[in-house]
Structure 1
Amino acid sequence: MTPLQSAPLGIRLLENGEEYFPRVFDAISRARESVLLETFILFDDEVGKKLHAALLNAAHRGVRVAVTVDGFGSHDLTPVFITELVKAGVHFCTFSPRRRLFGIRTHIFRRMHRKLIAIDGEVAFVGGINFSVHHLYDYGPLAKQDYAVEIQGPAARQVHDFLLRAMPGACPGPPPPRIHNRAAPAAPTTVRLVTRDNHRHRNDIEFAYLEAIRAARHEVVIANAYFLPGYRLLHALCEAAARGVQVRLLLQGKPDMPWVARAGGLLYSHLQDAGVQILEYVERPFHGKIAVVDEAWATVGSSNLDPLSLSLNLEANLVIREPAFARMLRGRLQALIAERCREVPPRKHKRTLLDVVGSTLMFHFLRRFPAWAGWLPAHTPRLVSPRAGDPRRPARVIVLEGETE
């Protein structure tokens, strides 16, 4: 693997599949001991087949390979695709697979939404890019704009140790000790993996955002695919704008899920009244989950600022306190804003009482509905590993109680 000489602290920003996939495949080809991979989406398409081949080659070289995919996001993997991996010795698991009901996927809540890769405990990838052709520009107008980071050194070891805990049985020997990952206000590390689960780390990613926004002095730039945060984040953004911080939100202008964008649009007037600038990316669907504060704090990961990511999904973000990286990320966002975004103008007419009441009720419903659905026992998380001969029949089922999430 080539060293990250051009990136500060062994961190490389990767934009879209054109930059991301070659780095991942090259790193896997150089693996000596272990490849640990979690992804929300893995499709049996051009990109998925290349990953499949890279994992098979690593397993045949004697590398310990472990893969976990989400049962909702990776629902269409073929039996042949999975069987070949399992027969080669890959530790393959599906997070909470469920049968379809009248052809409809029913497990839409509490997804394993992380996108993490660790190789030999020395190289790791964190971000929002899935393994599908949808993340390649050549896919067309629906190709997604997205980001990830490649890291080396101690920060990569954080990802490796976390995945060992999240993948029971992936590698022999005892798992590393559990480390509480909540953002600490005193003496922060330069690069830190922050995760969210439904047990001990329910609010860690949200708290990391809150800490940065509340401490902002000059600028907050948040670029998010799906934006419908709760009261604390909304208040923090409005309060930052009120004290003179330039707050900019870069959201989807051509959403792949229009109803989600319309829900987030309910907040536009409230935020704009507080002085927040709202921009929409209009070239193609925006899928990123990144932010920069004061050119000193940055985050790249899988977590949106919406009810699913903040209340139910298993997520992972890298928080980076490094001015050189933050400036680089801000520069990429500034170029995107200048060339491919439009500003959403404030509403010229005053909102009626019906507008206010309707948007308030809809906001509360959308914020609370995922949490209500998450109370259903059907959403208890499981890891299912298939039989080598028949991937449709489980060889082992692990019921997760939150500790390994």
Structure 2
Amino acid sequence: MNSAPVEKVAVDPIVMDQLPDGSMAKDVDYGWQSGNQLELLENGEAYFPKVFEALRQARQEILLETFILFEDKVGLELQGILIEAAQRGVKVVVSLDGFGCGELSSGFIAELSKAGVSVQMFDPASKTLGFRTNWFRRLHRKIVVVDAKVAFIGGINFSADHLEDFGPEAKQDYAVQVLGPAVADLHHFALAQSGPQVRTRRGWQRREQPPSLRFTGEGDGLVRLVYRDNLQHRSDIEEAYLDALRKARQRVVIANAYFFPGYRLLREIRNAARRGVQVQLIMQGQPDVAFAKLAARMLYDYLLKEGVVIHEYCQRPLHGKVALVDEAWSTVGSSNLDPLSLSLNLEANVLILDRGFNQQLYERLEHLSRNHCKTMPENRTPRGWLWRVTVGFVVFHVLRHFPAWTGWLPAHKPRLKPFVHEERQGYDSSTRH
């Protein structure tokens, strides 16, 4: 970069090394942290003001990771805030995905770089014969940590299509603001991804996970960070879902934009409904990617016949990645339930045990399903049943192994590359994913 930001945070020596795909070299399994305050943030109208105000109040450090950053009114406001923070001496590190942020211009990056913002791109690549070649193994996380005191995590990117005034294509999405001890884990994780040498604040230590946690609301304010990489933590988020589904006794609500999970998740969703749990899925009815709706619908018959209630959200594209189980367990993050998120992308979610947060999320999803969704009947149409059964059979059995197969795709050693504005010249492309 043109200038190195001043490090103002007291730090300890290197704790671990960073690997080429942005993962941590040592196995860090973040445990449950108690005593946290949580706020559900729905859509850009709630998310952007909270994040931007925290960034404006930053005094020491800003760590920001996002899959998409566009040069629209949201991206330009973020750029201005980050430049102002860097100019007043705040250490600012921005990590972007080379695929999701392919539309950013050289000038946009240069302005950040010249102000002292450390900008780095995950797996940058130009088009080859007019096509993108870096489709897989994306940096798909959305994390912001400010001064190691407040953190945000969820599915919301920095783009105007998360605001209602964007129009019919505005996305429906969720994030959470975290205050309390769990911020130390989010800070440690984000810092561990932000450079070849990982240094962390004094006082961070591994938390052991309690041997048994029930979903009845014992110990409100419990938070645990789970993440997916292509090394030691390939299935942590999926395992968290599986564990929650197996323990479910009353209700399960999953709202997920891209729903095409493997057989294990489908089986546990089915099993929960079979033992009398009220299971509701909220899927895309007006998708931004048409194939997402088609893929999810191939699974409907298998789930509907077991009593799973399926809603399709039809007001605008659903982009959320949230779920709740019983009265206390919830999860919010970047991970979809499809092969890209479960087998290839770098993802991060928080698991939450908190009755108040669970109830708030339930009420918002219930409002969505009652007022803006259509419910799928068990026998959606008698016509074409043979085709549906045949295709469903093939899809169902392919899903037993599909996540593992996609994990075999060449890794091509994606890297997190620091960007100076001179290097940006000639790197322009487009994506809306």
Task: Mark yes or no: TM-score above 0.5.
Answer: yes
- Larger displacement relative to structure 2 (373-382 or 121-130): 373-382
Q: Residue 58 of structure 1 aligns with which residue?
A: 85
Q: How does 1:84-233 map to 2 (within 5 A)?
A: 84-168=111-195, 186=212, 190-233=222-265
Distance 1:172 1:316, change over 3 A: closer
Residue 312 of structure 1 is aligned with which of 322, 344, 369?
A: 344
**Aligned residues of 1:37 and 1:118 also touching (Cα < 8 A):** yes
Shift of 1:117: 0.4
Please give the secondary structure, in 2, of the residue aligned with 1:217.
coil
Distance 1:64 1:88, change over 3 A: same
Q: Residue 281 of structure 2 aligns with which residue?
A: 249
**Aligned residues of 2:169 and 2:316 also touching (Cα < 8 A):** yes
Within 1, Cα distance between the matches of 2:361 and 2:317? 19
Residues 98-139 of structure 1 deviation map (CA, whole Å, 9 limit, x = unaligned): 111222212111111000000000000000000001100000
Residues 252-288 of structure 1 deviation map (CA, whole Å, 9 limit, x = unaligned): 1101111121011100000001110100111000000
Structure 2: which amino acid aligns with 1:322? D
Please give the secondary structure, in 1, of the residue aligned with 2:270.
helix
Residue 388 of structure 2 is aligned with which of 342, 347, 355?
A: 355
Distance 1:174 1:22, change over 3 A: closer
Shift of 1:374: 5.0
**Aligned residues of 1:93 and 1:385 also touching (Cα < 8 A):** yes
Residues 144-182 of structure 1 deviation map (CA, whole Å, 9 limit, x = unaligned): 00000111121112111101111115886789989599x
Distance 1:198 1:184, change over 3 A: farther
Q: Residue 266 of structure 1 aligns with which residue?
A: 298
1:240 aligns with 2:292: no
Within 2, Cα distance between the matches of 1:279 and 1:299? 19
Within 2, Cα distance between the matches of 1:172 and 1:87? 24
Structure 2 gap segments, 5+ residues each? 1-34, 428-433
Distance 1:255 1:363, change over 3 A: farther
Q: Residue 333 of structure 1 aligns with which residue?
A: 365
Distance 1:284 1:388, change over 3 A: closer
1:282 aligns with 2:309: no
**Aligned residues of 2:192 and 2:199 also touching (Cα < 8 A):** no
Count of residue pairs brought into register by the alignment: 386
Please give the secondary structure, in 1, of the residue aligned with 2:131.
coil
State the identity %. Answer: 51
Q: Residue 23 of structure 1 aligns with which residue?
A: 50
Within 2, Cα distance between the matches of 1:269 and 1:251? 14
Distance 1:269 1:142, change over 3 A: same
Distance 1:175 1:262, change over 3 A: farther
Within 2, Cα distance between the matches of 1:170 and 1:392? 27
Structure 2: which amino acid aligns with 1:248? Q
Within 2, Cα distance between the matches of 1:312 and 1:367? 16
Distance 1:63 1:118, change over 3 A: same
Shift of 1:317: 0.7
**Aligned residues of 1:15 and 1:146 also touching (Cα < 8 A):** yes
Shift of 1:9: 3.6
Within 1, Cα distance between the matches of 2:200 and 2:288? 43
TM-score scaled by length of structure 1: 0.89
Structure with more contact order per residue of length (Cα contacts < 8 Å, sep ≥ 6) = 2
Shift of 1:13: 0.6
Structure 2: which amino acid aligns with 1:391? R
Within 1, Cα distance between the matches of 2:88 and 2:58? 9
Residues 304-337 of structure 1 deviation map (CA, whole Å, 9 limit, x = unaligned): 1111110101111111001111011101111111
- Output the aligned Cα RMSD: 2.5
Within 2, Cα distance between the matches of 1:137 and 1:170? 40
Distance 1:374 1:86, change over 3 A: farther
Within 2, Cα distance between the matches of 1:330 and 1:177? 33
Distance 1:333 1:352, change over 3 A: closer
Please give the secondary structure, in 2, of the residue aligned with 1:379.
coil
Shift of 1:356: 2.6
Structure 1 gap segments, 5+ residues each? 1-7, 395-405
Within 2, Cα distance between the matches of 1:354 and 1:261? 17
Residues 48-94 of structure 1 deviation map (CA, whole Å, 9 limit, x = unaligned): 00000010000001000000110110001000111111121111110
Shift of 1:338: 1.3
Within 2, Cα distance between the matches of 1:393 and 1:355? 47
Please give the secondary structure, in 2, of the residue aligned with 1:274.
coil
**Aligned residues of 2:36 and 2:182 also touching (Cα < 8 A):** no
TM-score scaled by length of structure 2: 0.83
Within 2, Cα distance between the matches of 1:187 and 1:362? 34
Shift of 1:365: 5.5
Shift of 1:355: 3.2
Q: Residue 391 of structure 1 aligns with which residue?
A: 424
Please give the secondary structure, in 2, of the residue aligned with 1:35.
strand
**Aligned residues of 2:62 and 2:91 also touching (Cα < 8 A):** yes
Shift of 1:212: 0.8
**Aligned residues of 1:70 and 1:113 also touching (Cα < 8 A):** yes
